[in-house]
Structure 1
Amino acid sequence: MDPTIGATASASTAGSRRPGYLYHKVAAHLAAHPDQVFGVGELTKALDAPSTGAVFGALKKMAAAGYATHLTGPHRYQITQAGIDAAGTMPAPAPRTPRQGSRGMGRRQPISRPNGELYFPRRLAGASDVDVLQRLRDKRIPVLLYGPPGTGKTALIEAAYPDLLTVAGTGDTVVEDFLGNFIPLPDGGFEFVYGPLVTAMRQGRALLVDDATLIPPKVLAVLYPAMDGRRVITIPSYRNERVDAADGFYVIAGHNPGVHGAILTEALASRFDVHIEVTTDFDLARHLGVPLPAVETAILLNSDLAAGRISWAPQLRELLGFTRVSKTLGRAAAVANLAGRAPAEDREHVLAALRQRFGADITPLTLGKQR
Structure 2
Amino acid sequence: MGSATPPDPSDPTSPPVDGRRPGYLYRQVAAHLAAHPDQVFKVGELPTAIAARSTGAVFEALKKMAAGGYATHTTGPHRFQITQAGIDAAGTLPPPAQRTPRQGRRGAGRRQPVTRPNGDLYFPRKLAGATDVDVLRRLREKRIPVLLYGPPGTGKTALVEAAFPDLLTVAGTGDTVVEDFLGNFIPLPDGGFEFVYGPLVTAMRDGRALLVDDATLIPPKVLAVLYPAMDGRRVITIPGYRNERVDAADGFYVIAGHNPGVHGAILTEALASRFDVHIEVTTDWDLARHLGVPSPAVAAAVALNADLAAGRVSWAPQLRELLGFARVRKTLGLPAAAANLAGRAPEEDREQVLAALRQHFGTEITPLTLGKQR
1:162 corresponds to which letter in structure 2?
A: P
Cα distance, 1:95 vs structure 2: 3.1
> Do the aligned partners of 2:101 and 2:109 also contact (CA within 8 Å) in 1?
no
Aligned partner (choices 135, 138, 146) of residue 138 of structure 2: 135
Cα distance, 1:107 vs structure 2: 2.2
Whole-Å separation in 2 of the counterparts to 1:96 and 1:120: 19
Cα distance, 1:222 vs structure 2: 0.3
Whole-Å separation in 1 of the counterparts to 2:254 and 2:238: 18
Describe the superposition over 1:32-83 as per-residue Cα deviations: whole angstroms up to 9, x where unpaired: xxxxxxxxxxxxxxxxxxxxxxxxxxxxxxxxxxxxxxxxxxxxxxxxxxxx
Q: How many residues align?
A: 275
SS in 1 for 2:246: strand
1:272 corresponds to which letter in structure 2?
A: F
SS in 2 for 1:238: coil
Unaligned runs of 5+ in 2: 1-99
Aligned partner (choices 250, 266, 289) of residue 286 of structure 1: 289
Cα distance, 1:93 vs structure 2: 8.4
What's the RMSD between the two structures over aligned residues?
1.8
Cα distance, 1:311 vs structure 2: 1.0
Aligned to 2:275: 272
SS in 1 for 2:339: helix
SS in 2 for 1:183: strand
Aligned partner (choices 234, 238, 248) of residue 235 of structure 1: 238
> Do the aligned partners of 2:114 and 2:122 also contact (CA within 8 Å) in 1?
yes
Pairing 1:300–2:300 present: no
SS in 1 for 2:342: helix
Pairing 1:112–2:120 present: no
Aligned partner (choices 87, 92, 103) of residue 95 of structure 1: 103
SS in 1 for 2:241: coil
Whole-Å separation in 2 of the counterparts to 1:138 and 1:269: 20
> Do the aligned partners of 2:328 and 2:337 also contact (CA within 8 Å) in 1?
yes
TM-score (norm 2): 0.72
Aligned partner (choices 352, 355, 360) of residue 352 of structure 1: 355
> Do the aligned partners of 1:227 and 1:251 also contact (CA within 8 Å) in 2?
yes
Unaligned runs of 5+ in 1: 1-91, 100-104
Whole-Å separation in 2 of the counterparts to 1:258 and 1:106: 36
Aligned to 1:123: 126
> What does residue range 1-371 of structure 1 map to in structure 2 within 5 Å?
94-95=102-103, 106-371=109-374
Structure 1 residues 310 and 279: alpha-carbon distance in aligned structure 2, compared to 1, 3 A threshold: same
1:358 corresponds to which letter in structure 2?
A: F
Whole-Å separation in 1 of the counterparts to 2:101 and 2:336: 39
> Do the aligned partners of 1:96 and 1:106 also contact (CA within 8 Å) in 2?
no
Cα distance, 1:370 vs structure 2: 1.8
> Do the aligned partners of 1:96 and 1:107 also contact (CA within 8 Å) in 2?
no
Whole-Å separation in 1 of the counterparts to 2:147 and 2:314: 22
Cα distance, 1:359 vs structure 2: 3.0
TM-score (norm 1): 0.72
1:137 corresponds to which letter in structure 2?
A: R
Structure 1 residues 96 and 195: alpha-carbon distance in aligned structure 2, compared to 1, 3 A threshold: farther
SS in 2 for 1:158: helix
Cα distance, 1:142 vs structure 2: 0.2
Structure 1 residues 369 and 93: alpha-carbon distance in aligned structure 2, compared to 1, 3 A threshold: farther
1:95 corresponds to which letter in structure 2?
A: Q
Whole-Å separation in 2 of the counterparts to 1:365 and 1:266: 43
Percent identity, aligned pairs only, is: 87
Cα distance, 1:108 vs structure 2: 1.2
